[in-house]
Chains A and B, each alone.
Chain A
Amino acid sequence: MNLFRADLFRLVRDKSLYIFAAILTALSTLICLVYYFLSKNSSSATEISKVILQCADLGILSTLTGIAVSLYNGKDFTNNTIRNKIGCGESRYKVFFVKLLENYLLAIVFFAISVGVSAAIGSFLFEHTLLAGFWKQLFCQLALLIGFISVISAVVNTTKSMKVSIILTVALFVVLNALATMIPTLSDGAFVKILCRSVYMIVSNMMVPKFGGGNFGGAEIPDGTYVANIGMTADRQLISVTYDNLYLNAIIIAIVYTAVAITVTLLVLRKQDYK
Chain B
Amino acid sequence: MEREIILHTANLTKKYMSHYVLNKVEMTVRKGDIYGFVGRNGAGKTTLIRVISGLVVPDEGEFTLFGVNSKSAQINAARRKTCAMVESPSIYPELSAVDNMKCQCRILRRGTGDIKELLNYVGLGETGKKKAGDFSLGMRQRLYIAMALLGEPEFMLLDEPINGLDPEGIKDVRELLLKLNREKGITILISSHILTELEMLATTYAFIDDGKILKEISAEEIAKATKSVSSLAVSDEEKALASLKAIGYEAWAEGGKVFAEGEIDLMKTCERFKEDGIYLEHFSYGGMDLEEYFIKLIGGAE
Give A contacts to B, CB under 8 Å: 2-3, 5-6, 9-10, 13-14, 75, 79-92, 270-275
The answer to whether B77 and A89 touch across the interface, beta carbons within 8 angstroms, is yes
Q: Least Cβ distance of B69 to chain A in Å? A: 15
> Beyond A271-B57, A274-B50, is A88–B93 a contact (Cβ under 8 Å)?
no
Among A3, A13, A92, contact of B107 (Cβ-Cβ < 8 Å): A3
In the bound assembly, the distance between CA atoms of A272 and B54 in angstroms comes to 10
The answer to whether A83 and B55 touch across the interface, beta carbons within 8 angstroms, is yes
In the bound assembly, the distance between CA atoms of A91 and B106 in angstroms comes to 16
Check B84 for interface membership: any CB of A closer than 8 A: yes
Q: Which residues of B contact A6 (CB under 8 A)?
A: 103-104, 106-107
> Beyond A81-B91, A87-B79, A88-B79, is A9–B103 a contact (Cβ under 8 Å)?
yes
Stretch from B94-102, B168-176, B269-277 forming part of the interface with A: B94-102
The answer to whether B53 and A90 touch across the interface, beta carbons within 8 angstroms, is no
In the bound assembly, the distance between CA atoms of A275 and B49 in angstroms comes to 11
The answer to whether B79 and A13 touch across the interface, beta carbons within 8 angstroms, is no
The answer to whether B80 and A9 touch across the interface, beta carbons within 8 angstroms, is no
In the bound assembly, the distance between CA atoms of A91 and B91 in angstroms comes to 20
The answer to whether B57 and A83 touch across the interface, beta carbons within 8 angstroms, is no
In the bound assembly, the distance between CA atoms of A80 and B159 in angstroms comes to 14
In the bound assembly, the distance between CA atoms of A82 and B83 in angstroms comes to 13
In the bound assembly, the distance between CA atoms of A85 and B92 in angstroms comes to 13
Among B78, B83, B87, B95, contact of A13 (Cβ-Cβ < 8 Å): B95
Q: Least Cβ distance of A199 to chain B in Å? A: 36
Identify the interface centre among B57, B78, B80: most chain A CB within 10 Å of its CB. B57
> Beyond A10-B92, A90-B76, A92-B54, is A84–B107 a contact (Cβ under 8 Å)?
yes
Binary contact track B64-94/A, C-beta < 8 Å → 1, others 0? 0000000000001111101110111011111
Identify the interface centre among B50, B94, B104, B106: most chain A CB within 10 Å of its CB. B106
The answer to whether B56 and A88 touch across the interface, beta carbons within 8 angstroms, is no
Q: Least Cβ distance of B238 to chain A in Å? A: 58
> Beyond A10-B92, A10-B95, A80-B86, is A274–B55 a contact (Cβ under 8 Å)?
yes
Check B229 for interface membership: any CB of A closer than 8 A: no
Binary contact track B42-62/A, C-beta < 8 Å → 1, others 0? 000000001001111100000
Q: Least Cβ distance of A271 to chain B in Å? A: 6
Q: Which residues of B contact A88 (CB under 8 A)?
A: 79-80, 83, 107-108, 151
Which residues 102-121 of B have a CB within 8 angstroms of A? 102-104, 106-109
Q: Which residues of B contact A275 (CB under 8 A)?
A: 55, 86-87
Q: Least Cβ distance of B275 to chain A in Å? A: 66
Check B195 for interface membership: any CB of A closer than 8 A: no
Check B244 for interface membership: any CB of A closer than 8 A: no
Q: Least Cβ distance of B111 to chain A in Å? A: 12
The answer to whether B83 and A10 touch across the interface, beta carbons within 8 angstroms, is no
Q: Least Cβ distance of A75 to chain B in Å? A: 8
Check B147 for interface membership: any CB of A closer than 8 A: yes
Q: Which residues of A contact B84 (CB under 8 A)?
A: 83, 87
Give B contacts to A, CB under 8 Å: 50, 53-57, 76-80, 82-84, 86-88, 90-95, 99, 102-104, 106-109, 147, 151
In the bound assembly, the distance between CA atoms of A10 and B91 in angstroms comes to 11
In the bound assembly, the distance between CA atoms of A81 and B103 in angstroms comes to 11
CB-nearest residue of chain B to A270? B57
Q: Least Cβ distance of B70 to chain A in Å? A: 13
Q: Least Cβ distance of A266 to chain B in Å? A: 14
Q: Least Cβ distance of B192 to chain A in Å? A: 19
Q: Which residues of A contact B151 (CB under 8 A)?
A: 88
Among B57, B94, B106, contact of A2 (Cβ-Cβ < 8 Å): B106
Q: Which residues of B contact A272 (CB under 8 A)?
A: 57
Q: Which residues of B contact A2 (CB under 8 A)?
A: 106-109
Q: Which residues of A contact B55 (CB under 8 A)?
A: 83, 86-87, 273-275
CB-nearest residue of chain B to A86? B54
The answer to whether A81 and B92 touch across the interface, beta carbons within 8 angstroms, is yes
The answer to whether B83 and A87 touch across the interface, beta carbons within 8 angstroms, is yes
The answer to whether B147 and A89 touch across the interface, beta carbons within 8 angstroms, is no
The answer to whether B90 and A83 touch across the interface, beta carbons within 8 angstroms, is yes
Q: Least Cβ distance of B121 to chain A in Å? A: 19
Q: Which residues of B contact A9 (CB under 8 A)?
A: 99, 102-103, 106
Q: Which residues of A contact B54 (CB under 8 A)?
A: 86-87, 89, 92
The answer to whether B99 and A13 touch across the interface, beta carbons within 8 angstroms, is yes
Q: Which residues of A contact B79 (CB under 8 A)?
A: 87-89
Q: Which residues of A contact B103 (CB under 8 A)?
A: 6, 9-10
CB-nearest residue of chain A to B74? A89
Q: Which residues of B contact A14 (CB under 8 A)?
A: 94
The answer to whether A79 and B92 touch across the interface, beta carbons within 8 angstroms, is yes
Pick the 10 closest A-B CB pairs, nearest first: A6-B106, A89-B79, A89-B80, A274-B55, A89-B76, A87-B53, A80-B90, A5-B106, A273-B56, A2-B109
In the bound assembly, the distance between CA atoms of A273 and B91 in angstroms comes to 19
Q: A9-B103, A9-B106, A86-B53 known; 14 other A-B pairs, CB under 8 Å?
A: A9-B99, A79-B93, A80-B90, A81-B90, A83-B53, A83-B55, A84-B90, A84-B104, A87-B53, A87-B82, A87-B83, A88-B151, A89-B77, A275-B86
